[in-house]
Chains A and B, each alone.
Chain A
């Protein structure tokens, strides 16, 4: 994996450089004939560092399209080919971009894959989405099947995942002729652990009053975690730079929302198309989105366990962190993780973003919202959103509700 130079840069410059290098790197290395793998974000990229591969992440590409406001345009290309408007916008953007051979995408799409690896961790939908490419391109599709978590991960689930990783390694060895190098995976896992520790330090700036970061910073800076830089020195260095820089700024009183009257949490994927708009609108109201469940789960399991405390054996640890994100959690674990963060950050309110594109994240929110209000006594609001297709987000409607929440908080 290339090691980008991150010294003497600001965190924003570092981020820009990493993302540019990732997309360019994917295309360049693929052109040179390297074996290309497309993975879902829940796939343990560190395991793949045991090989010399190009690892591309379609979800990341779709989020970038959303941020650059070409999400709807790319999604329409899939809709024109018969894919329903009700399907996940990440999937529609990715399929639309692939069908258009990258045209319209800020990165000219992704290089064609030799192997697809999805997982059921975040959603089953991902496997159906990758099946579209599997059939269209006639390339193998390996599914990592992650049992849904109604409670903490069971020993049997962990063993089951490790068996699947071994089968995946066998498959890649057969397809590439390369030999998997476990030492490289161990090194990759160590870099990820370092990165997680810095990420937690960065997130910790939300505890300050006013908060040293907003959730919008976390949305943007999580991007390297969704590239092949995960498990590299570049990844760890970037998060170190980010945490150091943010801490230093906050120490000097340089914070995103100086006049912080309301401290809010966000539950669901970032609305990539409207980050600046929402962030500005909140800031003018003295509201700061200090934490998001979407980014808060990185490096943290089931709402409380730190990844740094896991087994030193990489496959075992990586099987354990299949439970890192929020989507594979049932209602109990989701509530538990929100409860812990509410106790820690004591927010004034929570914005639940009901995201029609992400059913696993959204489908239990009505019950979660009621329970949070009832048991934790935190005012909440539900807004309608879509993470990457701006056609399903209405700013005026969302802020009508957010304003009502702020009024409610004010009158408490």
Chain B
């Protein structure tokens, strides 16, 4: 297993000064292609780390770190070059953020247009929500046209959709390398999750570069069944905890993480209508507890994932105060156990990167319970690089 990305590179975006104007989308699943087709530079605002002093001015400590950090990012100098914001009803906290952000921006003397949309939250089989969703997308398009003085163009939308499809495809390809042990999950998650706030073109370049680098290395030996695990949550574990999981001997062979697999596993069909594209996007989405109509399918998705990747366990990474996730954990854990899949829940909050000792104890105990075989220390100087022909 090779570390293909250096830590410095992984962390660098945190200090990124937004040199080009960006259109900020609040998590989780925004219609990025649509914004891109308007010539905007859409980025999803998550994956930030560190303290959030400006977030704490506007949100109580019982709001999750995702919300507190993104508020901090937008209101601080780091978000100064945002030319627009978008939010939908992803959760109770996020639905309140548009006006909180507008207040903070106004106080800072910044005028940033904020677009909102309501994603209908029920079973598509009944079909009650699809018309409403189409109307919402139409209104969003009208709003974008009005603010940015550009007309929606289907050809441009198609091109944008293809770009995002390519990015999703590349992410899936790199994930395959993670499954086969050629890339560490911590590096993969570092690249994807922490670059979530970068433009799609940059992400594509990064992914292509990473895949090229991996291609020159040979595959490491297969690991035992009990060593294979799946990670599930809104965000991947913080880098230190991801590294801890792998150092304990686990190989992360799949993920059900909102910022990772749930965001790239499915690509909508690019037909001949942007409205239908988004009906497909939301209603055929990978199950996520925040998409209420899909939540019932999450268990079967996890079982399928564990079976397809040959994993014996699932590590749930609970974003502290994320009610959507925490209501589901007891049910998921019980159901998985009854099917022979063991799991552990790690609750991760704002300051947990600095306090990883308790996580170490729990992860080691979990590994011991599963009979995970500790990783062999690599022999000094022995390369696994393919011999060039």
Contacts and interface: CB of A to CB of B under 8 A. Distances in A.
Interface string B270-295: 00000000000000000001001101
Contacts of A145: 120-122, 129, 292
Contacts of B328: 128, 131
B128 A363 contact: no
B330 A366 contact: no
Contacts of B330: 81-83, 132
A204 interface: no
B99 A331 contact: yes
Contacts of A114: none
Interface stretch (A279-287, A297-305, A353-361, A402-410): A353-361
Given A150-B99, A366-B57, A371-B103, A125 B92 contact: yes
Given A363-B60, A363-B96, A167 B292 contact: no
Given A87-B327, A150-B116, A331-B99, A163 B60 contact: no
Contacts of A362: 60, 62
B93 A363 contact: yes
Contact of B327 (A120, A129, A360, A367): A129
Nearest to B327: A128
26 contacts: A82-B330, A87-B326, A91-B327, A120-B292, A127-B292, A128-B324, A128-B328, A131-B295, A131-B296, A135-B296, A135-B331, A145-B120, A145-B121, A145-B129, A145-B292, A147-B118, A163-B128, A164-B122, A330-B96, A354-B60, A359-B62, A360-B92, A360-B96, A363-B96, A366-B58, A367-B58
A366 B135 contact: no
A327 to B, nearest CB: 8
B329 interface: yes
B382 to A, nearest CB: 45
Contacts of B60: 354, 356, 362-363, 365-366
Contact of B324 (A124, A136, A160, A356): A124
B321 interface: yes
B99 A120 contact: no
A330 B92 contact: no
A364 B118 contact: no
B347 interface: yes
B58 A83 contact: no
Contacts of B58: 366-367
Residue picked from A84, A135, A332, most chain B C-beta under 10 Å: A84
Given A128-B289, A147-B118, A150-B116, A156 B323 contact: no
Interface string B112-130: 0000101011100010110
Interface of A: 81-84, 86-88, 91, 120, 123-125, 127-129, 131-132, 134-136, 143, 145, 147-148, 150, 156-157, 160, 163-164, 167, 330-332, 354, 356, 359-360, 362-367, 371
A83 to B, nearest CB: 6
A366 B99 contact: no
Nearest to A159: B132
A330 B132 contact: no
Residue picked from B59, B99, B321, most chain A C-beta under 10 Å: B99
A365 B58 CA distance: 8
A86 B62 contact: yes
Interface string B200-230: 0000000000000000000000000000000
B250 to A, nearest CB: 22
Given A356-B60, A364-B100, A366-B57, A164 B89 contact: no
Q: Return the 6 tightest CB-CB contacts between A and B, nearest first.
A: A82-B330, A331-B99, A128-B327, A147-B118, A356-B62, A84-B326
A398 B120 CA distance: 39
Contacts of A160: 120, 128, 132
A134 B116 CA distance: 30
B92 A143 contact: no
Nearest to A145: B121
B68 to A, nearest CB: 11
Nearest to B95: A148
A136 B135 CA distance: 36
Contact of B323 (A120, A128, A163, A365): A128
Given A132-B327, A366-B57, A367-B58, A150 B98 contact: yes
